[in-house]
Amino acid sequence: MPTDISPLAPKSYAELPPVTGVRIETAAAGIKYKDRTDVMLMVFDKPAAVAGVFTTSKCPSAPVDFCRSNLTGGRARALVVNSGNANAFTGQKGRAATELTAKSAAAAVGCSQDEVFLASTGVIGEPLDAGKFATVLDQMAASASGDRWLDAARAIMTTDTYPKVATRTAQIDGVTVTLNGMAKGAGMIAPDMATMLSFIVTDAAIDPSALQAMLSRHVGSTFNAVTVDSDTSTSDTLLVFATGAAGEHGAGTIHSASDPQARSFSKALADLMEDLAIQIVRDGEGARKQVEITVTGAASAKAAGRIARSIANSPLVKTAVAGEDANWGRIVMAVGKAGEKAERDKLAIWFGDVRVAVDGERDPDYSEAAASEVMKQEEIAIRVDLGIGRGKARVFTCDLTKAYVEINGDYRS
């Protein structure tokens, strides 16, 4: 794991209040890392509604397959997450590891195995010795408490340099409900789904189908709008749990994502997801700059998204950002190669508030000094207008530095 914290790390971490209905514990099982926690357990003392989105990789991990199967039940009593080993591309041994973990967690919590959810992150292709942490789940379930969010976020880190947490509140029938979330991710980050692990818990009472609809609605503009290196992981897992405990204080149950009382919650969920997604970008392996790319005037929203990702994933664009080089020609290149409709003589490009190109050529008032000042900032906005339609999209990324190569060159050592 990296020892240097990203310069884009938050100056302080959000203080997450306990969420009624969930307890958390962590442990050090020695899966890969020494002298640090690497297992996290969430216990839901009553069945919680659950929704999820997973990787689109055709080589998914064993825990992803397990979660997809259990998600049809819509209820959860336990979540077990380990770091250091992805339990991916591990064949029958991988499936056996998930079975042992689920069996052990179910026994520790007192539930059925189809109410258990699993996630693993780390090295691909190495068998996971689930016995290392299965033996500690009983004690973890007994000692779990409601205020362990930051500890939990640390336990699921791999190449992350800091834990990622966020909290929001919403109103349902005049009752305040809480949403807490954590995420991990720094490399192998690209859309479809977002390449990371993230877990969100709320005390709101929500039917699983409504929770799934809201999650699916917001994932496109949040976790699917981030990219560090264009590589989609085998293990991407985003799960949202609703304990329903706020119902005891008068908050009604949300039965549909279109219910009027769902508006405040849905907005808070979207805001929380965007916060966590951007934290992942800001911890991109070796990152020194956060970049927000906005594309407008495209033929469609889908086309705008593809063009934005073409820019965000371009090594030439990302290295120019790292070198603080206002090389807008690389933006032109990335737009042109995206395969979407574009008219050269209608194209306009901005770095921050500085328009560097317009009508298919360098802006007549272009200032290299002004553009260079924008590139020196930690947060850089790049905007492209194609001038041919109403499609728009936004993508978050980071620069590409020498440290990225160093981190990934040493990843398995």
Supply the pLDDT for residue 336.
Answer: 94
* Per-residue CA distances from 351 to 356, 379, 393 (Å): 7, 11, 17
* Per-residue CA distances from 94 to 38, 46, 54, 126, 265 (Å): 18, 29, 18, 9, 37
Does a structural domain hold residue 6? no
Q: State yes or no: 158 annotated in a binding site.
A: yes
Instruction: Identify whether residues 275 and 300 lie together within a single domain.
Output: no
**Separate counts of helices (H) and strands (E) for the chain:** 12, 14
Instruction: Identify whether residues 136 and 222 lie together within a single domain.
Output: yes
Supply the pLDDT for residue 408.
Answer: 64
Supply the pLDDT for residue 265.
Answer: 98
Say if residues 397 and 191 touch (Cβ distance below 8 Å).
no
Supply the pLDDT for residue 194.
Answer: 39
Q: State yes or no: 184 annotated in a binding site.
A: yes
Q: Which of 163, 156, 402 is nearest to 286 (CA)?
A: 402
Q: How far apart are the first and last CA of the chain?
A: 10
H helices within 220-300, ranges in order? 263-282
Q: How far apart are CA 129 and CA 216, in angstroms?
A: 33
Supply the pLDDT for residue 285.
Answer: 75
Q: Out of 264, 282, 300, pick the residue that ends a domain.
A: 282
Q: State yes or no: 408 annotated in a binding site.
A: yes
Q: Which residue type, as a one-letter code, is found at position 367? A: S
Q: How far apart are CA 83 and CA 104, in angstroms?
A: 18
Instruction: Identify whether residues 385 and 274 lie together within a single domain.
Output: no
CATH of the domain at 330: 3.10.20.340
Instruction: Identify whether residues 261 and 323 lie together within a single domain.
Output: no
How many domains does one find in the chain?
A: 2
- Residue 195 falls in the annotated catalytic set: yes
Instruction: Identify whether residues 350 and 207 lie together within a single domain.
Output: no
- Give me 259's structure tokens: 């219910």
Supply the pLDDT for residue 409.
Answer: 63
Instruction: Identify whether residues 253 and 231 lie together within a single domain.
Output: yes
Say if residues 249 and 204 touch (Cβ distance below 8 Å).
no
Instruction: Identify whether residues 200 and 294 lie together within a single domain.
Output: no
pLDDT tens, residue by residue, 20-51: 999 999 999 989 888 899 999 999 999 999 99
Does a structural domain hold residue 10? no
Q: State yes or no: 341 annotated in a binding site.
A: no
Does a structural domain hold residue 81? yes
Biggest alpha carbon–alpha carbon distance for the chain: 71
Q: How far apart are CA 130 and CA 113, in angstroms?
A: 15
Low-confidence ranges of the chain (pLDDT < 50): 1-2, 188-195, 412-413
Supply the pLDDT for residue 399.
Answer: 87
Domain extent for 105 = 22-282
Q: Out of 282, 300, 321, pick the residue that ends a domain.
A: 282
Instruction: Identify whether residues 236 and 314 lie together within a single domain.
Output: no
Instruction: Identify whether residues 247 and 194 lie together within a single domain.
Output: yes
Of 55, 121, 159, 195, the active-site residue reads 195
Read off the pTM. Answer: 0.89
Instruction: Identify whether residues 192 and 146 lie together within a single domain.
Output: yes
Q: State yes or no: 37 annotated in a binding site.
A: no
Q: What is the 3-state secondary structure (H, E, C) of 183-210?
A: EECCCCCCCCCCCCEEEEEECCCECHHH
Instruction: Identify whether residues 235 and 312 lie together within a single domain.
Output: no
- Give me 379's structure tokens: 């947060």
Q: How far apart are CA 169 and CA 321, in angstroms?
A: 36
Supply the pLDDT for residue 186.
Answer: 61
